[in-house]
Amino acid sequence: MTEDAYASESLDALQDCYLHFCRLIGREGRVTWAEERDVAWVMTPIPLPGFNRIIRIRMDADHADARIREISERFRTAGVRPTWWLDGRSTPMDLGDRLMRMGHLSETVPAMRGEASDVPELALPSGVTLAWADDPGPLGEAMNVIAAGFGMPAELGDALADLMAPIARPDHPARTVVARLDGTPVAAAQGILTGAAVAIFNVATLEAARGRGIGAAVTVAVLRDAIERGARFGVLESSAMGHSVYRRIGFRDIASLQVYGWPGS
C-alpha cells in the first residue's frame, strides 16, 4: 500500500467510526446527521467543537461559498457552533482560505494510526484499576472525568453521560473505559469499532493524575479490547498534550487535519 493509500484508508476509517458513533448515540433523536453529496455533518446538544462537525467536504469551487453559508446557517439556527474538519482531500483547494475570510480561526490536529501488531501489552500503574462502562455508574464516572479533563463546565459531564447512555452495555461496538487511582476516577477513553478499525476518542486524564502513564493505559485498554474483537489498526486525533504519549504506544502521524471554527467555539 502506498503512503497516500495508507493515509486515505486511515482517514476514511476515522471518519467512518466517528459517523457510526454518532448514529449509535443518536437513536433517540438528540443527535442529527446527514451524508450529503458534498459534505457529511453531525449536530449534537453538546456545545463543544469536537461534537459538532462538518467533514468529508468535497464542494464544487463555483458553489462553495454559498454552501458554506447555507450549512453554517443551519447550525446557527439550531444555536450550535460547528467546526469544519479539512484533510488533504477536501475541496475546493482554497476552502481553508474561504473559511478564514468568513471569520473562522484554524488549528492543526494530527491524525495518527497504530497497527494491532505494534500495540504494547496493558501495564497498569500502581494503584490503578480499570472498569468498562457497561452500566450508568461507570459511564457517569467516565463522562465526568472527560469533562473535567478537557476543562469543560462540570454540568457537561452529566449531559455527556445522558447522551452516551445508549452505549452503556456489554459487547457494544462503542466502548468506554474509566481508570480509578486508589478508587477515585481519574482517566477515561472511548473507542468505536467499525470494520477493521477502532477510533479512539475522548482520552482524558485529570490534571492531578497526569504524568503517571494512566492516559496511555486507558488508550491501550481500548485498543486491545477492539483487537480482541477483530480490529487490525487504531486511529485517533491527537491533542498536543497527548501526541508523545500516543507515539510511545505505537501510533504514528498519517495526516494533518485543519480544523476551522468561529472564535470562542
132-170 confidence digits (pLDDT tens): 999 889 999 999 999 999 988 888 999 999 999 888 888
Question: What angle in degrees, to the nearest 10, is found between the helix axes of 155-164 and 136-149?
Answer: 130
Residues, the chain, total? 265
pTM, whole model, 2 decimals?
Answer: 0.94
- Residue 24 has a CB neighbour count (10 Å cut-off) of 16
Whether pLDDT at 50 is above 90:
no
> Starting from the edge strand earliest in sequence, which strands make up the sheet with 105-115, in order?
32-35, 40-43, 53-55, 83-86, 252-261, 105-115, 233-237, 197-205, 184-194, 174-181, 128-132
The one-letter code for the residue type at 220 is V
Q: Quick check: 16 and 195 in contact, CB under 8 A?
A: yes
DSSP 91: B
Q: Measure the CA–CA gap between 26 and 32, rounded to whole angstroms.
A: 7
Q: What is the pLDDT of residues 68-104, one digit of tens each?
A: 999 999 999 999 999 999 999 999 999 999 999 999 9
Cell numbers placing 259: 480544523
Q: Measure the CA–CA gap between 100 and 177, rounded to whole angstroms.
A: 37
Whether pLDDT at 265 is above 80:
no
Q: Measure the CA–CA gap between 236 and 122, rounded to whole angstroms.
A: 18
Q: Measure the CA–CA gap between 135 and 2, rounded to whole angstroms.
A: 42
CATH architecture type of domain 115-255: 3-Layer(aba) Sandwich (3.40)
Q: Is the peptide bond before 92 cis (omega within 30 degrees of 0)?
A: yes
Q: Is 34 exposed, middle or buried (0-12, 13-18, 19+ CB in 10 A)?
A: exposed
Residue 143, CB-side half-sphere exposure with 13 Å CA sphere: 24
Q: What is the pLDDT of residues 59-69, one digit of tens each?
A: 999 999 999 99
- Domain residue ranges of the chain, discontinuous segments joined by +: 3-110, 115-255
Q: Quick check: 91 and 59 in contact, CB under 8 A?
A: yes
Whether pLDDT at 29 is above 80:
no
Q: Quick check: 226 and 190 in contact, CB under 8 A?
A: no
Cell numbers placing 23: 448514529
**176: helix, coil or strand?**
strand
Cell numbers placing 164: 452516551
Cell numbers placing 73: 446557517
pLDDT band at 26 (very low <50, low <70, confident <90, very high): confident
